[in-house]
Amino acid sequence: MNSQYYRDRGLLRIFLGYFKPHKKLFALDMLCALFVALVDLAFPLVSRSSMNYLLPRGEFAAFFAVMAVMAVAYLIRALLYYVICYWGHTFGIRVEADIRRDLFQHMQSLGYDFYDHNRTGQLMSRLTTDLFEITELAHHGPEDLIISVLTIIGALVVMFSIEWRLALVVCIILPILLTVVILRRRKMSAVSKNVKKRTAAINAEIESSLSGIRTAKAFANEAVEFGKFTEANERFKVSKREFHREMGIFSGSLEFFMSILSVAVVAVGGALTMKGNIEMVDLLTFSLYISTFTSPVRKLVSFSEMFANGFAGLGRFAELMRMEPALQDAPDAAELEQVKGEIEVKNVRFSYEENEEVLEDISLQVKAGETVAVVGPSGGGKSTLCRLIPRFYDVDEGSISIDSLDIRKVTQSSLHKNIGVVQQEVFLFADTIGNNIRYGKPDATMEEIVEAAKRAEIYEDILQMPDGFDTYVGERGTLLSGGQKQRVSIARIFLKNPPILILDEATSALDSVTEAKIQSALDALAVGRTTLIIAHRLSTIRSASRIIVVADGRICEEGSHEALLEQNGLYAKLYHTQNIGQTMK
């Protein structure tokens, strides 16, 4: 199901669409709910018949037999409530799992630009808290609705058959009650949506604070982070207070009308009894039906709160699902295969935000197997250029081609399979070091992982770890050193074995000794591949056959190390500033 599917459908239709794969469980839940409603309706009617016909005639055996049947019916009713609770929740969980699957899959299809503007904590809230509310609605909503509606309608029918004047009293009060329910539910729905936004915001604050807890401790800024948390928590409390105020108005109104209903029935029933228009047994039966009537009305109250919360979560789910990925494969996109590695960047312009151009009319050709270094001052556009080649973002103007194929005309998955990226900031999953290396090739054998580790010069380090390749690396790899994390990322690329390699400031955060170790691994990795090296440290580009200098979004210089020094331009200035002349020669 694509984004168009969600745009073409209303929330209720989207919601019910997730019931279809689990329709047998849903049918079981509804059948059980139907039987429960019938038992609730039957008891007052059976009691009335027994008191009107069996007791006056002295048929006590038949009376107790009927009561025994009702006792068995209530036992079955209790068992059915078990089915409703267990299998109903199973149904709800399956619906939630399907929704979460589709949401996560859709979030994977969204581009870098989406994650540039959305915080992880807020997205986590949509994957957890919002979907829990939808689950509760999926499970309890239909069964509460069917039990309530059937019981209310059935009770009204029986009440009219007993005494139409008393039933009319109920029918006068009921529309007023339902009007209050509908109006207050709408208000609660709006407030509930606001609560979910606040919940997402506080989740984002918590995620950010926990992710940066080491930095907070290093600067002794725990109080600052706690202040941010407290502020977000206070905003959450206010939004919850608004919701509970609306819920309080709703509940108070409901209790008033429910109480007035009982008072009105007793008052009118008493008047009819005085006139001899109704028997005491019928009035007692009618009172039992009022009790039967009030229980489903309370269920409707619960349903209205559940509906408000669930549909607020469903609305936020649909909002994301209706979002089209900024980057999509062309309808006739081809698979990028047998890549040689020739890259052509032609008249490219790009900006992250409108009217803030980062790259201006960039043109570049890289031959298959060539190693090209991209250097220049910070913010000049080096990294941006190399993010466009794997199509993490789309160019605003111009084109980028690999082996003469425009990257917009090939599938993104095949493009990413053929390009390996080693970044300065390495992300490791909270898993074993072996599984983090295997990420470069999910079906890799242990022998392949060991070979990749050796080539990345991390193998000896792994052997010294407590559990070898099964050593847990911690959240984001915090239990490893910076050099170890970087070499794990290099091992991933060795496993992936792509024909095109992008090294984005891969060693700039490391000390000289560690950098030397990793540089040899990177040099080995670059052999036989088209390689782009983005570097601040000019010592890391010894292996480059050509150097491109990017500044202010343009290529301002291009050539070999010696030729650029002779030009005495920006590269020469950077080179002399870093004072590495003897090393480079």
Residue 298: closest CA among 267, 269, 259: 259
Q: What is the pLDDT of residues 280-328, one digit of tens each?
A: 777 777 777 777 777 777 777 777 777 877 887 888 888 888 888 878 8
Q: Tell me what pLDDT residue 557 has.
A: 86
Regarding whether 294 and 223 lie in a shared domain, the answer is yes
Residue 383: closest CA among 535, 168, 493, 522: 535
Regarding whether 307 and 195 lie in a shared domain, the answer is yes
Residue 577 lies in a domain: no
Q: What is the pLDDT of residues 510-555, one digit of tens each?
A: 666 666 767 777 777 778 889 888 877 776 776 678 888 888 888 8
Q: Tell me what pLDDT residue 544 has.
A: 79
Least confident of 376-380, 388-392, 474-478: 474-478
Regarding whether 218 and 251 lie in a shared domain, the answer is yes
Output the domain CATH number for residue 122.
1.20.1560.10
On the CB side of 313, how many CA atoms lie within 13 Å of its CA?
A: 26
Distance of CA 118 to the CA centre of its chain: 12
Residue 114 lies in a domain: yes
Residue 395 lies in a domain: yes
User: What is the mean pLDDT of the segment spanning 409-436?
Assistant: 85
pLDDT bracket for residue 401 (50, 70, 90): very high
Q: Tell me what pLDDT residue 75 has.
A: 92
Q: Tell me what pLDDT residue 147 has.
A: 79
Q: What is the pLDDT of residues 179-197, one digit of tens each?
A: 877 777 677 767 777 776 7
Residue 578 lies in a domain: no
Residue 198 lies in a domain: yes
Q: Tell me what pLDDT residue 514 has.
A: 64
pLDDT at 67 over 60: yes
Regarding whether 347 and 450 lie in a shared domain, the answer is no
Find the domain containing 145 and state its range: 3-321
Give strand ranges (E) for 259-378: 343-353, 356-366, 371-375
Task: Name the average pLDDT for the chain.
Answer: 81
Q: What is the pLDDT of residues 348-375, one digit of tens each?
A: 898 887 777 888 888 889 898 888 988 8
Least confident of 121-125, 418-422, 532-536: 121-125
Phi/psi at 116 (5° precision): -65, -25
Regarding whether 220 and 167 lie in a shared domain, the answer is yes
DSSP code of residue 220? T
Output the domain CATH number for residue 471.
3.40.50.300
Regarding whether 254 and 124 lie in a shared domain, the answer is yes
User: What is the mean pLDDT of the segment spanning 21-50?
Assistant: 83
Q: How far is CA 532 from CA 366, 529, 560, in A?
A: 9, 10, 15
Which of the listed residues 286, 321, 356 is the one where a domain comes to its end?
321
Q: Tell me what pLDDT residue 265 has.
A: 78
Regarding whether 489 and 504 lie in a shared domain, the answer is no
Which of the listed residues 293, 321, 349 is the one where a domain comes to its end?
321
Residue 104: closest CA among 314, 312, 317, 315: 317
Regarding whether 194 and 219 lie in a shared domain, the answer is yes
Contact 137, 311 (CB under 8 A): yes
Regarding whether 404 and 311 lie in a shared domain, the answer is no
Q: Tell me what pLDDT residue 520 has.
A: 74
Regarding whether 269 and 250 lie in a shared domain, the answer is yes
pLDDT at 582 over 60: no
pLDDT bracket for residue 579 (50, 70, 90): low
pLDDT bracket for residue 422 (50, 70, 90): confident
| Structural tokens at position 545 | 């056959």
Q: Tell me what pLDDT residue 510 has.
A: 60
Q: Is the pTM of this model over 0.75?
A: no
The type of residue at 486 is Q
pLDDT bracket for residue 152 (50, 70, 90): confident
pLDDT at 139 over 50: yes
User: What is the mean pLDDT of the segment spanning 21-48?
Assistant: 84
Structural domain count, the chain: 3
Give the Cβ contact number of residue 42 at 10 Å: 16
| Structural tokens at position 173 | 């009060």
Contact 327, 111 (CB under 8 A): yes
Residue 308: closest CA among 482, 163, 407, 183: 183
Q: Tell me what pLDDT residue 585 has.
A: 42
Residue 583 lies in a domain: no
Residue 571 lies in a domain: no
Q: Which of 583 and 113 is assigned the larger pLDDT?
A: 113
Contact 383, 332 (CB under 8 A): no
Beta bridge partners of 420: 501
Write down the residue that tokens 């209050």 correspond to: 180
Q: What is the pLDDT of residues 223-278, one digit of tens each?
A: 877 887 787 777 777 767 777 787 787 777 777 877 787 788 778 878 888 877 77
CA distance 419 to 499: 7
pLDDT bracket for residue 214 (50, 70, 90): low
Regarding whether 486 and 349 lie in a shared domain, the answer is no
Residue 208 lies in a domain: yes
Q: Which of 98 and 194 is assigned the larger pLDDT?
A: 98
- % of the chain exceeding 70 in pLDDT: 93
Least confident of 68-82, 102-116, 288-302: 288-302
Regarding whether 399 and 352 lie in a shared domain, the answer is yes
User: What is the mean pLDDT of the segment spanning 491-500?
Assistant: 87
Q: In what order do the strands lie in the sheet with 405-406?
A: 356-366, 343-353, 397-402, 405-406
Contact 547, 558 (CB under 8 A): yes
pLDDT at 93 over 70: yes
pLDDT bracket for residue 581 (50, 70, 90): very low
Phi/psi at 443 (5° precision): -100, 20
